[in-house]
Amino acid sequence: MQSLLSTLKVRGFQLKNRIVMPPMATELATEEGHVTDELIEHYVNRCKYLGLLIIEHSYVSIEGKISPRQLGIYNDKLIDGLKQLVNEVHKYMKPVVIQINHGGGKASSKITGIKPIAPSPIMVPGGVEEPKEMTLEDIERVLEAFEKAAKRAIEAGFDGVEIHGAHGFLLNQFTSPITNKRLDAYGRTMEGRFRFPLEVVEKIRKVIGNKLLLYRLGADDMMPGGLTIKESRIFAAKLESLGVDIIDVSGGLCGSRPAHLTGQGYFIPLAEKIREVVEIPVIGVGGIKDPEFADKVIREGRVDLVAIGREMLRDPKWAEKAVNKLKGK
């Protein structure tokens, strides 16, 4: 039987346990998106006992930037700082991957100086202004931005990348029937809505060689008329067939912590439903506080990995304490 402390082998990487620190924006980068000493310290303080570290969402192009001091990966000049971050973390653990993101219609021209773009010209829940509908040229350009960002991540030494496909950001805007009203090949049908995110996956799988590819899947929009788990199961199977190594299940078109969801493990049921249709490991998340709870969901075979977000922000030693407690120390 597997437990929270069991190792896990994924594409040649050996995870020392099943504890994941999920991506969480710190606002510790510079205004241009460069890594800072504070940002490095934040991760070094938390990484030592983790099985897998996912660095916060980094923007693949300026127009997709979400917040003033978000981490960036949109330009080669950012690689040196990212290298420093990886080198410091690698002194203590592997693998470390970085999440790459484009905010789409959730971006704001006040921050980027550019009118936001999205699949359709409608307000995105949680957005601040009406975006411009993406042309086919825009789609091509953003695809290239994702590809280049992934290459930079590998050049910086990361063990892989996580594509952000949740929480109402661009790729979730494509999969969601609420925000994707396109009538061309990138919308209209379910296959159409899935097309662009899957193109991003395909492209990135090709350029990262044998490194890890994770996808953060917004598996349910949690809004009437939104994407549901039924369609997400079909999407997840496609992710697996395109070479995704781990699916990181989350949800909520309006954000990662829908107000009506409470209690420990609130996205575990969604993750379980995804796990039923794929062979690759699945991460579960949502309100988890106790090591015993995290251990239980692994032992019961509900998910393969457990992510601990806010508790790790609150207590940098969460993973260390969990490991020692479960070992009976």
Residues that bind ligand FMN (CB under 6 A): 22-25, 56-57, 99, 164, 166-167, 216, 250, 256-257, 285-288, 308-311
Pairing of strands 13-15, 8-10: antiparallel
Alpha helices in 22-61 (DSSP H): 37-47
**How many beta carbons lie within 10 A of that of residue 316, not counting itself?**
16
Nearer to ligand FMN, 145 or 217 (CB): 217
Nearer to ligand FMN, 125 or 309 (CB): 309
Nearer to ligand FMN, 145 or 285 (CB): 285
In sequence order, what are the residues at sequence separation of 6 or more whose Cβ sits closer than 8 angstroms to the Cβ of residue 152?
73, 76, 78, 79, 82
DSSP string, 100-139: EE--GGG--HHHHSS--EESSSSPPTT-SSPPEEPPHHHH
Rounded to whole angstroms, how far apart are CA atoms 214 and 86?
17
- For the bound state, the minimum distance from the C-beta of residue 135 to ligand FMN, rounded and expressed in Å, comes to 27
Whether 314 contacts 27, CB under 8 Å = no
Nearer to ligand FMN, 99 or 179 (CB): 99
Residue of minimal CB distance from ligand FMN? Answer: 309
Of 156, 174, 167, 183, nearest in space to 127 by CA: 167
- For the bound state, the minimum distance from the C-beta of residue 166 to ligand FMN, rounded and expressed in Å, comes to 6
- For the bound state, the minimum distance from the C-beta of residue 184 to ligand FMN, rounded and expressed in Å, comes to 28
3-state secondary structure of 87: helix
Rounded to whole angstroms, how far apart are CA atoms 128 and 212?
34
- For the bound state, the minimum distance from the C-beta of residue 167 to ligand FMN, rounded and expressed in Å, comes to 6
Nearer to ligand FMN, 85 or 187 (CB): 85
Nearer to ligand FMN, 104 or 187 (CB): 104
**Residues in a beta bridge with 132:** 117
CA distances for 326 relative to 3, 143, 215, 312, angstroms: 10, 43, 29, 17
- For the bound state, the minimum distance from the C-beta of residue 16 to ligand FMN, rounded and expressed in Å, comes to 20
- For the bound state, the minimum distance from the C-beta of residue 22 to ligand FMN, rounded and expressed in Å, comes to 3
Whether 304 contacts 283, CB under 8 Å = yes
Nearer to ligand FMN, 132 or 293 (CB): 293
DSSP string, 290-304: -HHHHHHHHHTTS-S
Nearer to ligand FMN, 190 or 254 (CB): 254
| CB contact burial 161-190 (16+ within 10 A = b; e otherwise) | bbbbbbbbbbbbbbbbbbbbebeeebbeee
- For the bound state, the minimum distance from the C-beta of residue 119 to ligand FMN, rounded and expressed in Å, comes to 19
